[in-house]
Amino acid sequence: MVQTTGYGMLMNPSPEGASERNPPPMSSTHLSLHYHLIFGTKNQEPLISSGWRDRLHAYLGGVIRTLNGVPEAVGGVADHVHLLVGLRATHTLADVLREIKSVSSAWVHEDVAVSSFAWQEGYGGFTVSASQLEKVRVYIQRQEEHHRTRTFREEYLKLLQRIGVEFDERYLL
């Protein structure tokens, strides 16, 4: 039986009929799942001091690795963090974020001794194409520079508008 794919190529569903014009069905999975994740401290409190910020970023990268993800960039300032991560198809974004926030919050309480530390409930999670990875990586690495002239809220609103995400300002950060 011969079937036509949505791309106009003739495909024979059985491997016996495979040829250059009729390749066999795909036998493996290929993914490029990169996410730009953004979340802040509760009430945007500037709790992440420069004295331990780099340790927090390294710890967040370690949490991602523990979850079998790939930390491609981690950065941020006193009131929020940005992560560029590679995830597997089996990950669910909500579960990954819940774990990152929970484990890192406990670390701040125990190792840094900031008992008032907490992350906000929500987060931003945006897919990143392979062609934009370097651009996002540089953006994350330059967070301190960006925030000399704009707040986290201003940055986040601009990002949502630029990528076309609908939002209600009453429920932002």
- Topology of the domain comprising 34-165: Alpha-Beta Plaits (3.30.70)
Residues contacting 44, CB < 8 A, separation 6+: 79, 80, 120, 152, 153, 173
- Quick check: 11 pLDDT over 80? no
The CA radius of gyration of the chain, in Å to the nearest whole number, is: 21
What pTM was computed for the model? 0.82
Nearest alpha-carbon partner for 60 in 76, 49, 46: 76
33-42: pLDDT as tens digits? 999 999 999 9
Nearest alpha-carbon partner for 89 in 32, 136, 129: 32
99-132: pLDDT as tens digits? 999 999 999 999 999 999 999 999 999 999 999 9
More confident residue, 30 or 129: 129
In this structure, what DSSP letter does residue 25 have?
P
More confident residue, 76 or 147: 76
- Quick check: 18 pLDDT over 60? no
- Quick check: 150 pLDDT over 80? yes
- Quick check: 9 pLDDT over 90? no
State the Cα–Cα distance between residues 149 and 129, nearest whole angstrom: 28
Look-up of token digits 């300032």: 77
Q: Could you tell me which residues are beta bridge partners of residue 125? A: 37
